[in-house]
Protein backbone atom coordinates (compact mmCIF):
# COMPACT_ATOMS: atom_id res chain seq x y z
CA UNK A 1 0.00 0.00 0.00
CA UNK A 2 1.01 3.60 -0.57
CA UNK A 3 1.67 5.26 2.78
CA UNK A 4 0.48 8.83 3.33
CA UNK A 5 2.29 10.86 5.97
CA UNK A 6 0.67 14.08 7.10
CA UNK A 7 2.39 16.83 9.01
CA UNK A 8 1.97 18.27 11.45
CA UNK A 9 -0.32 15.96 13.41
CA UNK A 10 -1.69 18.99 15.23
CA UNK A 11 -1.51 22.69 14.67
CA UNK A 12 -2.52 25.75 16.70
CA UNK A 13 -3.57 28.89 14.88
CA UNK A 14 -5.41 32.15 15.43
CA UNK A 15 -8.32 33.42 13.38
CA UNK A 16 -6.92 35.10 10.31
CA UNK A 17 -3.71 33.07 10.18
CA UNK A 18 -2.51 31.33 7.05
CA UNK A 19 -1.88 27.64 7.71
CA UNK A 20 -0.45 24.86 5.60
CA UNK A 21 -0.80 21.13 6.08
CA UNK A 22 1.39 18.78 4.11
CA UNK A 23 0.98 15.23 2.94
CA UNK A 24 3.79 13.05 1.61
CA UNK A 25 3.17 9.85 -0.29
CA UNK A 26 5.55 6.90 -0.19
CA UNK A 27 5.58 6.96 -4.02
CA UNK A 28 4.45 9.33 -6.75
CA UNK A 29 0.64 9.52 -6.99
CA UNK A 30 0.15 11.67 -10.11
CA UNK A 31 -1.95 14.34 -8.36
CA UNK A 32 -4.66 11.84 -7.32
CA UNK A 33 -4.79 13.48 -3.94
CA UNK A 34 -7.92 14.58 -2.09
CA UNK A 35 -8.47 16.55 1.13
CA UNK A 36 -11.32 16.14 3.63
CA UNK A 37 -12.41 18.09 6.68
CA UNK A 38 -14.00 16.45 9.71
CA UNK A 39 -15.61 18.19 12.65
CA UNK A 40 -16.23 16.37 15.95
CA UNK A 41 -19.12 13.94 15.80
CA UNK A 42 -19.66 14.51 12.08
CA UNK A 43 -18.83 12.66 8.88
CA UNK A 44 -15.92 13.96 6.82
CA UNK A 45 -16.63 16.32 3.94
CA UNK A 46 -14.74 16.80 0.70
CA UNK A 47 -12.70 20.00 0.38
CA UNK A 48 -10.36 19.48 -2.57
CA UNK A 49 -9.95 16.74 -5.16
CA UNK A 50 -7.28 16.11 -7.73
CA UNK A 51 -4.77 18.18 -5.74
CA UNK A 52 -6.16 21.59 -6.74
CA UNK A 53 -9.89 21.39 -7.56
CA UNK A 54 -12.16 22.99 -4.99
CA UNK A 55 -15.34 21.09 -4.26
CA UNK A 56 -18.49 23.08 -4.94
CA UNK A 57 -19.48 25.22 -1.96
CA UNK A 58 -16.05 25.17 -0.32
CA UNK A 59 -14.74 28.68 0.46
CA UNK A 60 -11.94 29.96 -1.74
CA UNK A 61 -9.66 30.45 1.27
CA UNK A 62 -8.93 26.72 0.91
CA UNK A 63 -6.41 25.78 -1.75
CA UNK A 64 -4.32 22.79 -2.65
CA UNK A 65 -1.05 22.27 -4.44
CA UNK A 66 1.63 19.70 -5.04
CA UNK A 67 2.98 17.08 -7.37
CA UNK A 68 4.85 13.80 -7.32
CA UNK A 69 4.97 12.72 -3.69
CA UNK A 70 4.44 16.05 -1.91
CA UNK A 71 1.12 17.84 -1.50
CA UNK A 72 -0.28 20.60 0.67
CA UNK A 73 -3.51 22.16 1.82
CA UNK A 74 -3.47 25.87 2.64
CA UNK A 75 -6.09 27.90 4.46
CA UNK A 76 -5.59 31.60 3.78
CA UNK A 77 -7.19 33.37 6.68
CA UNK A 78 -8.45 30.73 9.09
CA UNK A 79 -12.04 31.24 10.20
CA UNK A 80 -13.65 29.94 13.44
CA UNK A 81 -15.52 27.24 11.50
CA UNK A 82 -12.25 25.86 10.09
CA UNK A 83 -11.07 24.40 13.39
CA UNK A 84 -11.37 20.71 12.61
CA UNK A 85 -9.33 17.68 11.59
CA UNK A 86 -8.06 17.41 8.03
CA UNK A 87 -7.22 14.22 6.15
CA UNK A 88 -5.48 13.65 2.85
CA UNK A 89 -6.32 10.62 0.69
CA UNK A 90 -4.61 9.07 -2.32
CA UNK A 91 -6.64 7.25 -4.95
CA UNK A 92 -3.79 6.65 -7.39
CA UNK A 93 -3.47 2.97 -6.59
CA UNK A 94 -6.32 0.48 -6.45
CA UNK A 95 -5.89 0.40 -2.66
CA UNK A 96 -6.67 3.88 -1.40
CA UNK A 97 -5.13 5.25 1.76
CA UNK A 98 -5.61 8.20 4.09
CA UNK A 99 -3.12 10.25 5.99
CA UNK A 100 -3.33 10.04 9.76
CA UNK A 101 -4.97 13.46 10.06
CA UNK A 102 -4.05 16.96 11.20
CA UNK A 103 -6.03 18.57 14.00
CA UNK A 104 -6.29 22.33 13.64
CA UNK A 105 -6.89 23.95 17.02
CA UNK A 106 -7.50 27.46 18.22
CA UNK A 107 -4.45 29.18 19.68
CA UNK B 1 -30.35 16.40 -2.45
CA UNK B 2 -27.74 13.64 -2.37
CA UNK B 3 -27.94 11.51 0.76
CA UNK B 4 -26.42 8.23 1.87
CA UNK B 5 -27.82 6.40 4.88
CA UNK B 6 -25.97 3.55 6.52
CA UNK B 7 -27.69 0.99 8.71
CA UNK B 8 -27.05 -2.34 10.33
CA UNK B 9 -24.50 -1.32 12.93
CA UNK B 10 -24.83 -3.24 16.18
CA UNK B 11 -23.11 -4.69 19.23
CA UNK B 12 -21.83 -8.11 18.19
CA UNK B 13 -19.63 -10.77 19.69
CA UNK B 14 -16.19 -11.56 18.30
CA UNK B 15 -16.29 -14.19 15.58
CA UNK B 16 -19.80 -13.31 14.41
CA UNK B 17 -20.76 -11.72 11.10
CA UNK B 18 -22.57 -8.51 10.28
CA UNK B 19 -23.96 -6.94 7.12
CA UNK B 20 -24.14 -3.18 6.81
CA UNK B 21 -26.35 -1.45 4.28
CA UNK B 22 -26.00 1.82 2.43
CA UNK B 23 -29.12 3.36 0.95
CA UNK B 24 -28.43 6.36 -1.27
CA UNK B 25 -30.90 8.84 -2.67
CA UNK B 26 -30.89 11.96 -4.78
CA UNK B 27 -28.82 10.55 -7.64
CA UNK B 28 -28.78 7.69 -10.12
CA UNK B 29 -27.26 4.93 -8.00
CA UNK B 30 -26.06 2.85 -10.93
CA UNK B 31 -23.92 5.67 -12.31
CA UNK B 32 -21.51 5.76 -9.38
CA UNK B 33 -19.01 3.72 -7.43
CA UNK B 34 -19.56 3.32 -3.68
CA UNK B 35 -16.93 3.06 -1.00
CA UNK B 36 -16.74 2.14 2.66
CA UNK B 37 -14.48 3.94 5.14
CA UNK B 38 -14.25 3.23 8.84
CA UNK B 39 -13.11 5.19 11.86
CA UNK B 40 -12.25 3.57 15.17
CA UNK B 41 -13.09 5.64 18.27
CA UNK B 42 -10.73 8.59 18.53
CA UNK B 43 -8.72 7.45 15.50
CA UNK B 44 -8.26 8.47 11.89
CA UNK B 45 -9.98 7.31 8.73
CA UNK B 46 -9.30 3.86 7.34
CA UNK B 47 -10.36 2.99 3.80
CA UNK B 48 -12.09 -0.40 3.68
CA UNK B 49 -12.83 -0.83 -0.03
CA UNK B 50 -15.05 0.14 -2.91
CA UNK B 51 -17.20 -1.23 -5.68
CA UNK B 52 -17.20 0.22 -9.17
CA UNK B 53 -20.36 0.87 -11.10
CA UNK B 54 -21.62 -1.87 -13.36
CA UNK B 55 -21.33 -1.64 -17.11
CA UNK B 56 -18.60 -1.71 -19.77
CA UNK B 57 -15.19 -0.77 -18.51
CA UNK B 58 -16.21 -0.89 -14.85
CA UNK B 59 -17.85 -4.26 -14.35
CA UNK B 60 -18.95 -3.70 -10.78
CA UNK B 61 -15.59 -4.94 -9.58
CA UNK B 62 -14.28 -4.45 -6.06
CA UNK B 63 -11.05 -3.38 -4.40
CA UNK B 64 -10.15 -3.75 -0.74
CA UNK B 65 -7.52 -2.53 1.67
CA UNK B 66 -4.78 -5.12 1.68
CA UNK B 67 -4.84 -5.39 5.47
CA UNK B 68 -8.57 -6.20 5.45
CA UNK B 69 -8.84 -8.42 2.41
CA UNK B 70 -10.61 -11.69 3.06
CA UNK B 71 -13.12 -10.81 5.78
CA UNK B 72 -14.83 -7.88 4.07
CA UNK B 73 -17.10 -8.13 1.03
CA UNK B 74 -18.76 -5.21 -0.74
CA UNK B 75 -21.70 -5.77 -3.03
CA UNK B 76 -24.39 -3.73 -4.72
CA UNK B 77 -27.92 -4.26 -5.99
CA UNK B 78 -28.63 -1.62 -8.61
CA UNK B 79 -32.24 -2.77 -8.99
CA UNK B 80 -32.87 -1.86 -5.36
CA UNK B 81 -30.33 1.00 -5.17
CA UNK B 82 -28.54 -0.41 -2.18
CA UNK B 83 -24.98 -1.36 -1.32
CA UNK B 84 -23.70 -3.73 1.33
CA UNK B 85 -20.63 -4.36 3.42
CA UNK B 86 -20.40 -7.88 4.78
CA UNK B 87 -17.95 -8.36 7.63
CA UNK B 88 -17.11 -11.90 8.72
CA UNK B 89 -15.19 -13.21 11.73
CA UNK B 90 -15.51 -9.90 13.53
CA UNK B 91 -12.66 -8.84 15.78
CA UNK B 92 -12.59 -6.31 18.59
CA UNK B 93 -10.41 -4.09 16.40
CA UNK B 94 -13.27 -3.83 13.88
CA UNK B 95 -15.08 -1.60 16.36
CA UNK B 96 -15.64 1.64 14.44
CA UNK B 97 -18.08 3.94 12.76
CA UNK B 98 -18.52 2.72 9.20
CA UNK B 99 -19.19 5.34 6.53
CA UNK B 100 -20.56 4.79 3.05
CA UNK B 101 -19.44 7.26 0.41
CA UNK B 102 -20.30 8.09 -3.18
CA UNK B 103 -17.13 7.79 -5.21
CA UNK B 104 -16.78 9.81 -8.36
CA UNK B 105 -14.17 9.58 -11.11
CA UNK B 106 -11.97 12.61 -11.72
CA UNK B 107 -13.10 12.69 -15.33
CA UNK B 108 -15.00 10.33 -17.67
CA UNK B 109 -12.94 7.22 -18.27
CA UNK B 110 -10.64 7.84 -15.31
CA UNK B 111 -9.90 4.97 -12.98
CA UNK B 112 -9.23 7.23 -10.02
CA UNK B 113 -11.84 8.60 -7.70
CA UNK B 114 -12.77 10.99 -4.94
CA UNK B 115 -15.51 10.69 -2.32
CA UNK B 116 -17.86 13.61 -2.82
CA UNK B 117 -20.69 12.59 -0.46
CA UNK B 118 -20.58 10.74 2.84
CA UNK B 119 -23.26 9.15 4.96
CA UNK B 120 -23.57 9.86 8.67
CA UNK B 121 -22.09 6.49 9.59
CA UNK B 122 -23.23 3.44 11.52
CA UNK B 123 -21.50 2.18 14.67
CA UNK B 124 -20.23 -1.37 14.91
CA UNK B 125 -19.11 -2.49 18.35
CA UNK B 126 -17.41 -5.84 18.69
CA UNK B 127 -17.28 -7.06 22.26
CA UNK B 128 -18.03 -10.14 24.28
B99 contacts in A (CB within 8 Å)? 43-44
Burial class (CB in 10 A: 0-12, 13-18, 19+), A44: buried
The whole-number average pLDDT for the span B114-119 is: 98
Distance CA B72, CA A79 (A): 40
**What's chain A's length in residues?**
107
Give residue-wise pLDDT tens across range B38-59.
Answer: 999 999 999 999 999 998 888 8
**Chain A residue with Cα closest to B106:** A50
- Give the A:B interface size as CB pairs under 8 Å: 65
Record: contact A49-B106, CB cut-off 8 A: yes
Give residue-wise pLDDT tens across range B89-106.
Answer: 999 999 999 999 999 999
Q: Is A76 part of the contact surface with chain B (CB cutoff 8 Å)?
A: no
Using a pLDDT cut of 90, give the percent of chain B over it: 87
B117 contacts in A (CB within 8 Å)? 46
Amino acid sequence: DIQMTQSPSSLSASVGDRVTITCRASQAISNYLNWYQQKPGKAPGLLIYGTVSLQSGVPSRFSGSGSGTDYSLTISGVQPEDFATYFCQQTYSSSWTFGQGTKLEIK
Amino acid sequence: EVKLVESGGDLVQPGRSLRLSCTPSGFTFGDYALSWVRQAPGKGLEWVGFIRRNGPGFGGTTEYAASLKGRFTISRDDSRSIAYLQINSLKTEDTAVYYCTRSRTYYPGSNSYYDDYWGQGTLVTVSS
